[in-house]
Amino acid sequence: MVYMGTRMERKKKQRKEAILDAAENLIAKQGFQSMTMDQVANKADVAKGTLYLYFKNRETLCAAVYARIHGLLNESIAKQMSMHRTGSEKIVALETALIGFSLQNPQKWKAGTELFQMKFDAPEDPNVQDSLDEANKSIQMMAEAYRQGIKEGTILSDVDPVTTAIYNRMALINAFTPTSEQEKLLEMNNISQEHYLSVSWNLINRSIHIKPSIREESEKPLLEQRSKKDITKEIKGMIDSMKLSRENATEIVASWAILSKILMGNPVFTSVERSDERVVNHITRCPVSFNEEKDVNTAKNSVEGCQRFCKIIVETLNPKYTQKFTKRICAGDDYCESIVELKESE
């Protein structure tokens, strides 16, 4: 009897998952407004009446789909955040996980963003409540990282953690999944999706941070900074999530600029030499040293940290290339001269 009961429970669970799979697929393809229960039944290969044994109407079915997608997203976010220590680092990890999930699970992301706009009218339904609980989990993870950053002095003290988390979550989702009107405006103004995302990401982080995550870390003594392996893992996640180009020196510098905006601040530079093998930039505004008063030790750490992180970013983008500074504003030069080039053959 126990065996029969277990087998029946397993079959019920499998049938429910098949229904959710079918609904998710239809929502991603045609939107939740066009999806019908008849379509879900046909796709899941179940009788229409069977659907109503699991979900009383289309709204509760959509809520269950949304809760399942958000639960998987939250698992990815929690895993990424657990790899980092500071609040600032955890915020970047959360954002990276969000974008990474969207690229690795395009159907789930499409269905999720469709349902993001759906109004649920039955908050007492368990499926609707589950969907709200899962959405709130991501908000609370982000808010807790903000609280930690405020205590550590890297997040602005007047930031309201929960309200800011709700807004920034919406803004980041919108940045990666713009509306039809926004897509047309980007096209009219010759703005790529990658550039739009990087600017949005940078604005979100600048609105709350006193110092971006790697700029914060660069001020620590070298022995207290994270290992190259840990930093590389964080940067690699961002590279993959944004699908940054990195085949040659020109592409590497363009991607380096995007990552630097997010992780260190906004550098201002001009390319004075450019080829696929080598790019030389003159940086006239350094995000690490710009307008900052530092004590001697912090200033020394910043110089060493800046050089270290810039090199790690370039070598993570493409291990065949490296980066070095031949002039530095912090050493009294008028600009920093950064050279990205192919490594010498070993």
* Parallel/antiparallel/unpaired status of strands 336-342 and 321-327: antiparallel
At 286-312, the pLDDT tens digits run: 766 644 444 444 445 566 777 888 899
Q: Is 246 helix (H, G, I), strand (E, B) or coil?
A: coil
- Model pLDDT, residue 294: 44
**Residue 224 or residue 200, greater confidence:** 200
For 290, half-sphere exposure in the C-beta direction (CA atoms, 13 angstrom radius) is 14
State how far the Cα of 80 lies from the Cα of 102, in Å rounded to an integer.
14
Q: What is the DSSP letter of 318?
A: -
List, in order of start, the domains of the chain with CATH numbers.
2-210 (1.10.357.10)
Q: What is the pLDDT of residue 135?
A: 93
Contacts of 225-228 with CB under 8 Å at 24 or more apart are: 225/305, 225/308, 226/85, 228/312
Confidence band for 65, pLDDT divided at 50, 70 and 90:
very high
Q: What is this structure's pTM?
A: 0.70
Interatomic CA distance for residues 177 and 109, integer angstroms: 9
pLDDT of residue 298: 46
Residues 58-72, mean pLDDT to the nearest whole number: 95
Count Cβ atoms below 10 Å from residue 203 Cβ, excluding itself.
13
The per-residue DSSP string of 38-104 comes to HHHHHHHTS-HHHHHHH-SSHHHHHHHHHHHHHHHHHHHHHHHHTT--SHHHHHHHHHHHHHHHHHH
For residues 237 and 15, the model is more confident at: 15
Does the structure show a pLDDT above 50 at 145?
Answer: yes
Q: Residue 78 has what pLDDT?
A: 95
Residue predicted with more confidence, 104 or 59: 59
Strand extents, DSSP E, 197-295 = 268-274, 278-285
What pLDDT was estimated at residue 293?
47
**In this predicted structure, which of 103-107, 212-216, 286-290, 319-323 has the lowest mean pLDDT?**
212-216
| Residue 211 in this model has a pLDDT that exceeds 60 | no
Three-class DSSP category at 338: strand
User: Which of the two residues, 116 and 63, has the higher pLDDT score?
Assistant: 63
Which amino acid is residue 34, in one-letter code?
A: S
pLDDT, tens digit, for every residue of 235-264?
Answer: 887 787 677 889 999 999 988 888 877 666
